[in-house]
Amino acid sequence: MEATLQTTENVKQAAKIFEENSDMIRIAIRSKVNDKSVIDDIFQNLFLSLVRSPVPSNIENTEAYLRRAIRNDVIDAAIKRKYRRGREQRYARMHMVRIRYDDPEDTVTMCDTIQHIFEIIENELPAHEARALIEKYRYNKDDDEAAEALGITKRSFSHYLCTGLKKVRQFAQQSRLEQNIPA
């Protein structure tokens, strides 16, 4: 109940700030963004970030604070677009390679292997490591997106991911050794 009241108060504070500064905010965003299609996205993301993390009460110059927040949001949006574009290009290259060169039998074998790896992840790893690997590799999220989806810091996410990958490699290596040992 207290969290809901706090969120309501944060929304009211953000709405008041936007009511008082919306023209300056839009002008500041336009001055930093070349792609006009993302101006509204950045405008809305700024509002949401002010709801999540309101302007501290000790800030005397709200306009300067907002300009800094806008600059940070513009940089974050550019980085996300860059990584998303890179993932899309990698996907397109992988897809084209599969269309040209994959034998249907190889594709089935690869799918079975991938399914087996996800079974290892889900059944053998601690839940936090499994969730990190699934967010990263099944849902193809970058580290920031996955950490946010899990509600953890990027550093914790990286730790879970690294530890989980190490364990998956160990399980895969064990599995290969067991298959090569005669009964």
CATH topology of domain 103-180: Arc Repressor Mutant, subunit A (1.10.10)
pLDDT tens-place string over residues 36-64: 778 888 888 889 988 988 888 898 898 99
Three-class HEC string of the chain: CHHHHHHHHHHHHHHHHHHHHHHHHHHHHHHHCCCHHHHHHHHHHHHHHHHHCCCCCCCCCHHHHHHHHHHHHHHHHHHHHHHHHHHHHHHHHHHHHHHHHCCHHHHHHHHHHHHHHHHHHHHHCCHHHHHHHHHHHHCCCCHHHHHHHHCCCHHHHHHHHHHHHHHHHHHHHHHHHHHHCCC
pLDDT for the residue numbered 183 = 47
pTM of the entire predicted model: 0.46
Q: Is the pLDDT of residue 126 over 90?
A: yes
pLDDT for the residue numbered 64 = 92
pLDDT tens-place string over residues 88-125: 888 777 766 555 555 777 777 878 888 888 888 899 89
Separation between Cα atoms, residue 127 and residue 132, nearest integer Å: 9
Mean pLDDT computed over every residue of the chain? 84
Contacts 24+ apart (CB under 8 A), 117-123: 117/168, 117/172, 120/168, 120/171, 120/172, 121/164, 121/168
The amino acid occupying position 138 is R
**pLDDT classification of 34: cutoffs 50, 70, 90:** confident
Q: Is the pLDDT of residue 180 over 80?
A: no
Average pLDDT over residues 161-179: 83
Q: Which of 21-25, 80-84, 168-172 has the highest mean pLDDT?
A: 21-25
CATH top-level class of 2-82: mainly alpha
Residue boundaries of the structural domains of the chain: 2-82, 103-180
pLDDT for the residue numbered 179 = 66
